[in-house]
Amino acid sequence: MIEVVDSLEAVMTKYSLVTAFAVIGLTVWISYFLSARLTFGRLHGSAIAILIGLVMAYIGGVVTDGTKGIADIEVLAGIGLMGGAMFRDIAIVATAFGVRLEEFLETGLSGVLSLFSGVLVSFAVGGMVAFAFGYRDAVSITTIGGGAATYIVGPVTGTALSASDEVMALSVAAGLVKSILVMTMTPVVAPWIGLDNPRSALIFGGLMGTTSGVAAGLAATDPKLVPYGAMTATFYTGLGCLVGPSIVFLVVRALV
């Protein structure tokens, strides 16, 4: 019996990406089944699938003490590859197939506006929270503010300003909280914020900025909106890393 389990494990580990396709396929199937039978389509199947994914990630984190969610369990390591930047980016780019260029360009100005306001507002909100919790030095305030932008902007800003490890870890956690909330809450708030057309999706992507959050949040709301949100979101982290250690830091230092 043990030999059977061992050989099963050996095959699943060796063909980890294939295992991932099977596991994720099963997850999606269960999610769409639950969506149709339990919620009568009110909660979209993809939203349930993403929620199950996050729960799996939490379990993986608790079981292994790692940082890659369920992918830290050896036989499921392929999920990390399947959900990693390489596959994610090629799939996001593919969603742009069939989109008309005019639809992107029409929103040009508000897209740029949403990017700048999204980055600056996140820095401001994160910085204020840091201040409220007793952080008084400009480096920590800016780094935690960067985390409220995305979990990449935080540590990049922190490294540039030589923030402490503890503050860097906080900024990554803040970015993760944001990304997970955007994934799960977007379909819920979409009707209230008018997120039902390419224009508002572009603005949404620029304001939120977390590529993974926007990618999953829009997929669960309306997959047709994905390319628009993803388009602006992809400029967000770069912009955040640009203004964080420079303009934002100088402003924060002048204020505290």
- Per CB under 8 A, contacts with other proteins among 76-115 are 79-80, 82-84, 87-101, 104, 107, 109-110, 113-114
| Smallest distance, other proteins to C-beta of residue 175, A | 7
Q: Which of 16, 35, 212, 221 binds other proteins (CB under 8 A)?
A: 212
Residues that contact other proteins, how many (by CB under 8 A):
112
Residue placing its CB nearer to other proteins in the complex, 4 or 97? 97
Q: Evaluate whether 51 touches 27 at the Cβ level (below 8 Å).
A: no
Cβ-count burial of 228 within 10 angstroms (0-12 exposed, 13-18 middle, 19+ buried)? buried
Q: How far apart are alpha carbons 192 and 228 in whole angstroms?
A: 19
Closest distance to other proteins from the beta carbon of 37 (Å):
19
Among residues 133 and 255, whose Cβ is nearest to other proteins?
A: 133
Binding mask 177-196 for other proteins (x = CB under 8 A): xxxxxxx-x---x---xxx-
207 binds other proteins per the rule CB under 8 A: yes
Check residue 225 for interaction with other proteins (CB under 8 A): no
Restricted to residues 27-66, the positions that interact with other proteins (CB under 8 A) are: 27-28, 31, 46, 49-50, 52-58, 60-62
Q: For residues 214 and 118, give the distance between their C-alpha atoms in angstroms, rounded to a whole number.
A: 13
Task: Give residues with Cβ within 8 angstroms of 174, minimum separation 6.
Answer: 126, 144, 147, 148, 151, 154
- Strand spans (E) along 51-134: none
Residue 170 binds other proteins (CB under 8 A): yes
CB 4 → other proteins: shortest distance, Å?
26
Q: Does 163 bind other proteins (CB under 8 A)?
A: no
From 8-16, 35-43, 200-208, 247-255, span contacting other proteins (CB under 8 A):
200-208
Contact region with other proteins (CB under 8 A), list: 7-15, 35-43, 126-134, 247-255: 126-134
Cα 70 to Cα 57: distance, rounded to the nearest angstrom? 5
CB of 7 or CB of 39, closer to other proteins: 39
The string over 26-40, giving b where at least 16 C-beta atoms fall within 10 Å of a residue's C-beta and e elsewhere, is ebbeebbeebeeeee
Which of 173, 185, 179 lies closest to 133 in space, CA to CA? Answer: 173
Nearest partner of 179 among 222, 220, 149, judged by Cα? 149
Residue placing its CB nearer to other proteins in the complex, 196 or 253? 196
